[in-house]
Amino acid sequence: MQMLRKLSAGLLLLAVASFASTPAAEAAGQTLEIVKKRGHLKCGVSQGLPGFSTPDNRGNWTGIDVDFCKAVAAAIFNDADKVKFTPLSAKERFTAIQSGEVDIIARNTTWSMHRDTALGVDFPVVNYYDGQGFMVRADLGVRSARDLDGATLCTNQGTTTELNAADYFRSNGMQYEIVAFEKADESVAAYNSGRCDAYTTDHSALYAQKLKLSDPKAHIVLPEVISKEPLGPLVRQGDAAWNDLVRWTHYATVAAEEFGVTSKNISEMKSSSNPSIRRLMGQDGSFGDNLGLSKQWAVHIIRAVGNYGEIFERNVGVKTPLGIKRGVNALWTKGGLQYAPPIR
């Protein structure tokens, strides 16, 4: 009995301690209420990655990940500007979400099993399917990653890149050396100055960082994709409603693209008789209410940032300096992986 009492007291203590030590425990299940009360969303982004999250010289942020947070702000406030951006290094990002410093991170972050299960965070959805690659100076004469035996690689600390490189070189019986910097600009500068033979990171980031080199045309991205890097927003673990809101914010933009709803035709689309479009627009059903939002949540998102295709093309597409093709990020109906579960 004594034993049992001790045990249950111990368990209670453990439960209290683990609740108290849960980062921002008071926010569990209440992130949306806290954000609404505060009047803006706190969004963690990169320290500057063109096409994904980058500030201009007046401090205005743009990019796919920036648009993701703007979309969440639009869904909540019908105002895409109600968001404050916090630049975070790759290493800092997990602590920032765990501690409650930000409500969401949209920072070209790979959803991996370790991160999802061991870091107290959740990955609601993938907003950009990517994979790791290499960039080299064209005059190095290397045209395939298989020619990188003995190379020195520049990369960033706290990213998935080091382990992927280790796996790739080991499984191909190749030698390499890696130099990892905390700040992305340090690794770009080191590569630019010739400190490394290759720069390795996500393919999208290679295209982005290439723009920062003194002579971008003198560098090529090698064809190999050596890993899976499903990039997406992350939230603190333990708030399923917030997780839903973030997930469906992305799916609203994908569904809009599937149905041909754009930021330009959204007003006409509101009177569509297509039942799927009517549900997305909040004309039928109570999908917004179920998320704790207004009926027109998706209209607010699409009006502010557009559908997924518009977001992609505006920030990283073939007409931007990054010049990335839709590839695996095309809609599933066009051979890609972007697929929204039904809104019904």
Q: Which residues are near ligand GSH by CB under 6 A?
A: 46-49, 89-90, 108-110, 156, 159-161, 184, 201-202, 205, 209, 229, 231
How far is residue 93 from each of residues 18, 98, 240, 298, measured CA to CA in Å? Answer: 22, 9, 20, 28
As measured in angstroms, the least distance from the Cβ of 113 to ligand GSH is: 13
- Residue pair 194/93 in contact (Cβ under 8 Å)? The answer is no
Chain residue at closest Cβ approach to ligand GSH: 184
Nearer to ligand GSH, 67 or 257 (CB): 67
- Alpha helical stretches, state H, 22-122: 31-38, 64-77, 93-98, 113-118
Backbone torsion region of residue 39, taken as left when φ is above 0, otherwise alpha when ψ lies between -120 and 50, otherwise beta = left
- Residue pair 181/190 in contact (Cβ under 8 Å)? The answer is yes
Nearer to ligand GSH, 98 or 276 (CB): 98
Q: What are the φ and ψ backbone dihedral angles of 310, each rounded to 5 degrees?
A: -65, -40
Nearer to ligand GSH, 64 or 205 (CB): 205
- Gap between the Cα atoms of 95 and 178, Å rounded: 25
Residue among 130, 78, 90, 123 nearest 104 (CA): 123
As measured in angstroms, the least distance from the Cβ of 303 to ligand GSH is: 29
As measured in angstroms, the least distance from the Cβ of 174 to ligand GSH is: 22
- Residue pair 50/322 in contact (Cβ under 8 Å)? The answer is yes
As measured in angstroms, the least distance from the Cβ of 2 to ligand GSH is: 50
As measured in angstroms, the least distance from the Cβ of 315 to ligand GSH is: 14
Nearer to ligand GSH, 205 or 340 (CB): 205
Nearer to ligand GSH, 109 or 315 (CB): 109
As measured in angstroms, the least distance from the Cβ of 84 to ligand GSH is: 17
Nearer to ligand GSH, 60 or 274 (CB): 60
Residue type, 65: D
Q: How many CB atoms lie within 10 A of CB 223?
A: 11
